[in-house]
Amino acid sequence: KQEVTQIPAALSVPEGENLVLNCSFTDSAIYNLQWFRQDPGKGLTSLLLIQSSQREQTSGRLNASLDKSSGRSTLYIAASQPGDSATYLCAVHNAGNMLTFGGGTRLMVKP
Amino acid sequence: DADVTQTPRNRITKTGKRIMLECSQTKGHDRMYWYRQDPGLGLRLIYYSFDVKDINKGEISDGYSVSRQAQAKFSLSLESAIPNQTALYFCATSEGRLAGSYNEQFFGPGTRLTVL
């Protein structure tokens, strides 16, 4: 059974810092990996989808990498802003396009 | 207007009541999903549907049923609600009718359900 772990569970940084969020998964036979953002009491917003054949994907200040063989993905946020404060979730696409989610990293960016 | 909508957004009910949560989408996607989110447990898949005639159980389907009324509508029912079904429920959609296609999933705003 696929298990997805995100470290750290919570992170607090001053505005302007570059930061890295980590995601690891136990079964490397994944199809895609997707990063989401969730604001308190809100739904999930898709940030990036990395296809299994890709190594990384970029969108604005966000860069996500994928290393299937080691079962890891990282989400890099450049020049963090208070508006980036949210919970970040990674999810792997398994057979049948079912997602297995990590527990999330709660990010606080202080002005 | 939101592409994936859920109704109601909040619901408080009592043990033993029947509850239906509804999801509608305007993205034209074939696939729809229901998840629940619990603190400390993350999101878990309840049911999913690849098209109107295709319904599949997910990881935690016991105590739930679903209906895919049309391509755009997917409802989740709790036939007899119990307190441990208190959670945040999300509907999601993705493209790809063909088996083996794995596409980005898009989520609705969620329904917060409390069972007393």
Is beta strand B111-115 parallel, antiparallel or unpaired with respect to B10-13?
parallel
| Residue A74 reports pLDDT greater than 60 | yes
Q: Locate tokens 């609705």: which residue?
A: B108
8 Å CB contact of A96 and B90: no
Band (pLDDT 50/70/90 cuts) for residue B98 is low
**Cβ contact A57:A50 at 8 Å:** yes
Q: Which residues pair with A109 in a beta bridge?
A: A13
A53: Cβ–Cβ under 8 A, 6 or more apart, which residues?
none
pLDDT the model gives residue B97: 60
Q: Is B11 on the interface with A (CB under 8 A)?
A: no
8 Å CB contact of B45 and A36: no
Render pLDDT for B51-89 as a digit per residue (tens, 0 to 9): 888 999 998 999 999 999 999 999 999 999 999 999 999
| Residue A76 reports pLDDT greater than 60 | yes
| Residue A41 reports pLDDT greater than 90 | no
CA dihedral B57, B109, A6, A29 (to 10 degrees): 40
* C-alpha–C-alpha distance, residues A25 and A6, integer Å: 9
Phi, psi of A104 (to 5 degrees): 95, 155
Q: Locate tokens 């509508």: which residue?
A: B73
pLDDT the model gives residue A19: 95
8 Å CB contact of B109 and A43: yes
Of B41, B58, B110, the CB nearest to A43: B110
8 Å CB contact of B42 and A42: no
- Cis amide linkage into residue B8, ω under 30° from 0: yes
Above pLDDT 70, what percent of chain B?
93
* Chain B residues with CB-CB distance to A102 below 8 A: 42
Nearest residue of chain A to residue B109 (CA atoms):
A43
Residue B9 identity: R
pLDDT the model gives residue B101: 57
pLDDT the model gives residue B1: 58
Burial of A110 (0-12, 13-18, 19+ CB in 10 A): exposed
* C-alpha–C-alpha distance, residues A22 and A102, integer Å: 10
Segment A1-7 shows an average pLDDT of 92
Phi, psi of B83 (to 5 degrees): -55, -35
Residue B17 identity: K
B100: Cβ–Cβ under 8 A, 6 or more apart, which residues?
none
Q: What is the largest distance, in Å, between two alpha-carbon atoms of chain B?
A: 41
A14-23, A81-90, A92-101, B103-112: least confidently modelled range: A92-101
Provide residues of A within 8 Å CB-CB of chain B.
4, 31-32, 34, 36, 41-46, 49, 89, 91, 93, 96-99, 101-104
Burial of A13 (0-12, 13-18, 19+ CB in 10 A): middle
| Residue A64 reports pLDDT greater than 90 | yes
| Residue A42 reports pLDDT greater than 90 | no
Band (pLDDT 50/70/90 cuts) for residue A37 is very high
